[in-house]
């Protein structure tokens, strides 16, 4: 019975290793502008190592205390991952109110041929919103990355104008290179302290984007979630988990400095 369970575990881990490796190359082929596809290769290597360990019965050879530590770490990791992903999912269908004073469209990669697929989801959502809210001003936010032919804001504005949005309703913020900078720099273009603001970004990115907006003085900012490429959703959700952990870590590190300033 134990031998059969070990065989099943070995086959399952090898299958997950192959699936992760295949997904890594699928993500790489999208030319998303990030190197996160390499994380899937690391995950593939971990599953392959697990398969070898199960086949060789390494678990039994480990001291009981080591096994206990490993189990505790894995359980804590699963709990943290599940909690963060639950928060991400809870904001994936944010709609926001109509007729807000401003909407801020967060940038993503642009190419010579136009916005990337993920960015088109954001822009199509923005265009629909702006048609239904004719008095709303749109701020498109994004600078020029090393692998981009022009600032993201420029490509975004061109796309919106091509889809019927008047140039006078579009403000370009073309210096930002992170979500934090998107929010901070876009806020400078918003007139009035009491202006209502919506944040437009992909569904998987909405939870962290709103956190950053609220953390930077846009306390009443509302989310307007766009869709995202279904085949890359798993990759984006896992990548967003690490981005959220990094965001929370930076808040924790900077907190003493904020207290000293007070």
Please check the confidence at residue 5 and state whether its pLDDT lies above 90: no
Beta-strand pair 197-202/114-115: unpaired
**Residue indicated by tokens 């603001």:** 197
DSSP secondary structure code for residue 147 in this structure: T
Cα 101 → chain centroid = 25
pLDDT above 70 coverage of the chain, percent: 94
Please state whether the predicted TM-score (pTM) of the whole model is above 0.85.
Answer: yes
Beta-strand pair 102-106/197-202: parallel
CA distance 243 to 11: 32
What's the mean per-residue pLDDT of the chain? 91
Lowest mean pLDDT among 68-72, 156-160, 223-227: 68-72
pLDDT tens track for 138-175: 999 999 988 899 999 999 999 999 999 999 999 999 99
Q: Which helix (H) or strand (E) holds 226?
A: strand 222-226
Question: Which of helix, strand or coil describes residue 42?
Answer: helix
pLDDT of residue 252: 54
Please check the confidence at residue 259 and state whether its pLDDT lies above 60: no
CA distance 89 to 9: 30
What number is the average pLDDT over the span 169-195?
A: 94
Spatial contact of 199 and 160, defined as CB atoms under 8 Å apart: no
pLDDT of residue 6: 82
Please check the confidence at residue 34 and state whether its pLDDT lies above 80: no
Angle ∠(243,249,255) on CA atoms, nearest 5: 135
Burial class from Cβ neighbours inside 10 Å (0-12, 13-18, 19+) for residue 247 reads middle
pLDDT tens track for 106-124: 999 999 989 999 999 999 9
């Amino acid at each position: 019975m134990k031998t059969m369970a070990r065989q099943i575990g070995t086959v399952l881990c090898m299958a997950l290793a192959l699936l992760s490796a295949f997904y890594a190359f699928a993500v790489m082929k999208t030319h998303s502008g990030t190197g996160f596809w390499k994380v899937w290769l690391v995950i593939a290597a971990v599953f392959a190592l697990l398969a070898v360990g199960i086949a060789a019965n390494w678990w039994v050879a480990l001291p009981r205390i080591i096994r206990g530590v490993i189990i505790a770490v894995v359980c804590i990791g699963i709990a943290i991952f599940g909690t963060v992903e639950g928060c991400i999912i809870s904001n994936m269908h944010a709609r926001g109110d109509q007729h807000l004073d401003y909407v801020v469209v967060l940038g993503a990669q642009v190419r010579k041929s136009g916005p990337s697929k993920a960015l088109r989801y954001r822009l199509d959502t923005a265009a629909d919103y702006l048609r239904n809210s004719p008095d709303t001003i749109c701020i498109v936010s994004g600078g020029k990355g090393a692998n981009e032919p022009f600032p993201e804001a420029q490509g975004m504005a061109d796309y919106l104008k091509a889809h019927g949005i008047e140039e006078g309703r579009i403000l370009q913020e073309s210096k930002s290179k992170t979500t934090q900078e998107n929010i901070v720099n876009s806020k400078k273009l918003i007139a009035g302290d009491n202006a209502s603001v919506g944040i437009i970004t992909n569904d998987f990115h909405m939870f962290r984007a709103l956190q950053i907006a609220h953390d930077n003085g846009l306390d009443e900012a509302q989310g307007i979630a766009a869709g995202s490429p279904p085949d890359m959703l798993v990759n984006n959700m896992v990548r967003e988990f690490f981005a959220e952990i990094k965001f929370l870590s930076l808040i924790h590190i900077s907190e003493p400095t904020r207290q000293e300033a007070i």
